[in-house]
Copies of this chain bind each other. A is one copy, B any other.
Amino acid sequence: MLETRDRILDVALDLLGENPDAGMGEIASAAGVVRRTVYDHFPSRLDLIRTLTERAVAEMTAVLNEVNASGAAADAAWVAFIARVWPVAHRYRVLLALRRGEYGEAIHALLGPVDELLADLVKRGQDTTVFAQHLPADTLSQIAYGVVFAIADSDRSNGTPGARAATITSLLMLGVPETRAIALVGDQP
């Protein structure tokens, strides 16, 4: 049997993905445990959310660091990034909904490092004229990864189609020409 704590986290992620307003009771039941037990591991709902967010941040920064270190062109790096981050974004799509509302501040704060790394990548793309410059790098990166999350969020079944759509769409909005975008995605589907 998986460690109870980890099982609670996994199940909470699933459940909150379906319904961001799921309560501690529902999470407990779904984890095959009593509500009281959840509180033994996470003193408050915020603790649970925070732990989930920290997990997401860790996974995403890991991917971003690797991709940034690979020295590939910014657009190719972006494709690699989306390909690898897609399952993560999909798993943690709740955070998109949770970012508004009660815990928004806490989540936003934890997400800071990811935002920075993302902006760095987009900046690099703009400096090498691979990405469009109609918006500042930080704004553009926010919108682009917002779109990725939004598509992940609307794609409840987690499929390759979703990933492909997210990749091409985000490339286009970053200013990569359609032909180039298609070519890039062909390489790494």
A residues in contact (CB < 8 Å) with B: 20-21, 97, 100-102, 132, 134-135, 139, 142-143, 146-147, 150-151, 154, 165, 168-169, 172-175, 177-178, 182
Contacts and interface: CB of A to CB of B under 8 A. Distances in A.
A102 B174 CA distance: 34
A166 to B, nearest CB: 9
Contacts of A154: 142, 146
Contact of A20 (B101, B132, B143, B177): B101
Query: Can you list the 7 inter-chain pairs with the closest CB atoms, starting with the nearest?
Result: A173-B173, A172-B173, A169-B173, A134-B168, A172-B172, A175-B178, A132-B178
Given A132-B178, A177-B177, A165 B147 contact: no
A147 B142 CA distance: 11
Contact of A143 (B21, B139, B143, B147): B147
Given A135-B169, A150-B150, 16 more contacts: A20-B101, A21-B101, A97-B100, A134-B165, A134-B178, A134-B182, A135-B165, A139-B165, A142-B154, A172-B172, A172-B173, A172-B174, A172-B175, A173-B173, A175-B178, A177-B178
A143 B178 CA distance: 17
A131 B147 CA distance: 18
